[in-house]
Amino acid sequence: MLMMMISKVRSNRQAYRNMLMMMILKVKSNWQAYRNMLMMMISSEVKQASIQKYAEDDDFKSKVKQASIQKYADDDDFKSEVKQASIQKYADNDDFKSKVKQASIQKYADDDEHKDDEEDKEHDKDADDGKKSESDSSKPSEKTFVPCPMKHDDDHHHDKHTDGDINEKSESKGSILKAKQM
């Protein structure tokens, strides 16, 4: 009988422990939920106070901007988040999209270095177009430089010769050379 009583006490003790553990877990989960709710309320209030201070205090605004710029420069994850948020805002907000386009147009108009780059690109494009037009022509033009086949003397000048000019000049120069040699 004593053993039965001991066994019953032990089982009651175990049941009591289980009941206490469940109550502790319930209180703990309720406490965690209550704590989370408080943190959200506090966070929301702090956020609202910060937004209000940002709107009213230019010194605070300057410090926040500097801190944000520094964090953007130092933290690649933050940089990625900012870029993604900006892309999403650009996709969702037509007013923001318009402002970004206007800022881009203004920066393009104000950026002298960018203008120099554009002029270089235009110059390169013009040069490329010139190369294409030269290579596209299959027969030489009348103003194509052709090397002079004549013997050189003091009276001969190297100008740009056309195909027709060379034959005429070489005949006349040839006769002049023959006359000098005689």
Are 150 and 173 spatial neighbours (Cβ–Cβ below 8 Å)?
yes
Start-to-end C-alpha separation, the chain = 157
Residue 181 has pLDDT above 60, yes or no: no
Residue 3 scores a pLDDT above 60: yes
Q: What is the mean pLDDT of residues 157-180?
A: 51
pLDDT digits 0-9 by tens, 80-121: 998 999 899 889 999 988 998 998 898 888 876 655 565 666
HEC assignment per residue over 118-177 = HHHHHHHHHHHHHHHHHHHCCCCCCCCCCCCCCCCCCCCCCCCCCHHHHHHHHHHHHHHH
By CB atoms closer than 10 A (0-12, 13-18, 19+), residue 148 is middle
> CA gyration radius for the chain?
45
Which long-range contacts (C-beta less than 8 Å, at least 24 apart) are formed by 153-156?
Answer: 153/177, 153/180
Q: For residue range 133-166, list pLDDT tens digits in order.
A: 555 555 555 555 566 666 656 555 555 444 454 4
Q: State pTM to two decimals.
A: 0.33
pLDDT at 70: 92
